[in-house]
Every structure is written in structure tokens, then in C-alpha cells.
Amino acid sequence: MQNFSVLSWNVQGKVNLTGHTLFKKIKPHLINQSSDIIALQEMCNAERMLKNLETLNGYNIFIPELNRRRHRKTPGFNHNVLLSKYPIIRAEEIVFPSWGNKIHLENGIRADIQFGNQVLRIYNCHLAIFKVGIDTRLKQLAYILDDARSYKGPTIICGDMNVAIPKKGLRRKIVTGWHREPKREMSVNGKFIDYDEREIFNKTISKHGFKEVLDLYTPTWSPLKSKHAELFKLKLDWFMVKNLKVTDIKLGDYVSDHRSVEVRCHL
């Protein structure tokens, strides 16, 4: 039997519509955490930022090829980074198809981590949000789930899924307008989605045998980095498991515009 912990966190290292978070603010929290596996999203310039931290010397680190901030408009750029105290026996980038649009979709990460005689597979993802909507994100999710289907061992899919669309109404108009999301992106297989995006996301993962361990309606994002300013109560961060027991879940405070998610697991 094996107990271990995973920290998933969007550190807001790239410039976006709500600004960015300086690494000097993120650094103390990375130094003081004790998770066995760390999955970071929007972690730009990871080679320079992370490898000089002595407290992380005990980690094996996978950093994608196009990881620098200036690559954010390059097809295939990847600011998802993975650190593990256990051996990473295989790590690859997941390249999403374009699905006929001109939006640059950030690559994901798939890694196999050795725990004694067992291997954990973990996916670290940052799904698209600007100029796309429910349809593209569901296609990205389906692509990951299809990839995970062939693996029968313990599996985690985590990261910032940007599941941002509320039910129809004023909130939806504001969110879709802010992210310039086309109307066609609000339909899936020709059917207009007039309910909360979280619900169709959750139904999709359930059909593939995964379970979301976080409460669907507990927000994890705040543009002002405060629990008192969680605009529209959006839950953007997800932690999905299959063939794995979860024993504890902890949400961190706002340091970046996302709360960190620490999950303790049991093999």
C-alpha cells in the first residue's frame, strides 16, 4: 500500500486578461509545501525558476520544450510542468488537434510515475478559454479521456480546465463576451448547452469511469486573488481520479488568481 500527495496549481506565470503573479510570490509556497507530486499550470520559464530552488532538488522534473513566456502564441507551447519525488519513467506532451479553428491550443502533459510495483499515470492540462467555449474544451477533454482509456492502472487528470460558462442569462453573456467566445462554441453536436458547463463536464468524465474529487460548485478562481472577489463563483480547477482512492482534499489560499488543490491519495 502507498500513500502520496499531489499538488495541482495554476501559478499565473503568464500574462493574461487579469494580469500575472510574480514568481517571488509563488516561490515561498513552493518551498514550504511537501507534496510528493506537483503539477503546475502557467509555469513559464520553469528551467530558470525551479531548478535553482534547493528544496526542489529531490524532485524529478519534466519541463516541456516550448515553456518560455514568449512562446505563448506559438502552436504547441506548453506551460504545464510536473515535479515528482518518485521516478518519472515516461513523460510526453499531448498535442491537441486544431479541429478546424485557428486557435493555438496549449499542449498537455502525460507522465507515468513509478510507485514500487505500481505505475501512476497523471495528466496535467490547461485547457483553452479565449475565443473558444464549451465545444472545444469538451473536445480537449474527450481527447485526454480517449488517451487514458487504454491505461488500466491508477490515473489522475488534473489542472486548469477553464470550465467557465454559467447557465444562460446575464452571467453567461458577460463571461462569453469577456473571453470573445463564438456562439457556435456553446453548442455540442448541434445541441445548444443552456445549462452550467460544469455539469456536462462532470457527466462526460463519469461516463469514462473518472470521478471529480472537488465539489462542483466551490470556486477556485478570483481575478482579484481574494475569497471576497470570486467573480461568478467559477470552479476552473479540476482533479479527476480513476482506480485510485482519495483520502483528503485541501484548497489553498489565493496567491495567484487560482487556489491550489492538494489531494492525498492511496494506492
Among candidate residues 175, 108, 97, the one with its CA nearest the CA of residue 136: 97
d(CA 265, CA 165): 30
Q: What is the pLDDT of residue 208?
A: 97
CATH topology classification for 3-266: Deoxyribonuclease I; Chain A (3.60.10)
User: Which helix (H) or strand (E) is 108 found in, with range?
Assistant: strand 108-115
Q: What is the DSSP letter of 258?
A: B
Name 68's bridge partners. Answer: none
Question: What's the whole-model pTM score?
Answer: 0.96
Among candidate residues 61, 10, 9, 4, the one with its CA nearest the CA of residue 34: 4
Please check whether residue 118 is in contact with residue 89, taking contact to mean a CB–CB distance below 8 angstroms.
no
DSSP collapsed to 3 states, 197-231 = HHHHHHHHHHHCCCEECCCCCCCCECCCCCHHHCH
Q: What is the pLDDT of residue 99?
A: 87
C-alpha pair distances (Å), 260 with each of 125, 172, 174, 234? 14, 25, 26, 14
pLDDT tens-digit profile, the chain (267 residues):
689 999 999 999 987 777 899 999 999 999 999 999 999 999 999 999 998 898 898 999 999 999 999 888 898 999 999 999 999 999 999 999 988 778 889 999 999 999 989 999 999 999 999 999 999 999 999 999 999 999 999 999 999 999 999 988 888 899 999 899 999 999 999 999 999 999 999 999 999 999 999 999 999 999 999 999 999 999 999 999 999 999 999 999 999 999 999 999 999
User: Which helix (H) or strand (E) is 24 found in, with range?
Assistant: helix 23-32
Q: What is the pLDDT of residue 86?
A: 97
| Domain regions of the chain by residue span | 3-266
d(CA 176, CA 192): 14
d(CA 113, CA 122): 8
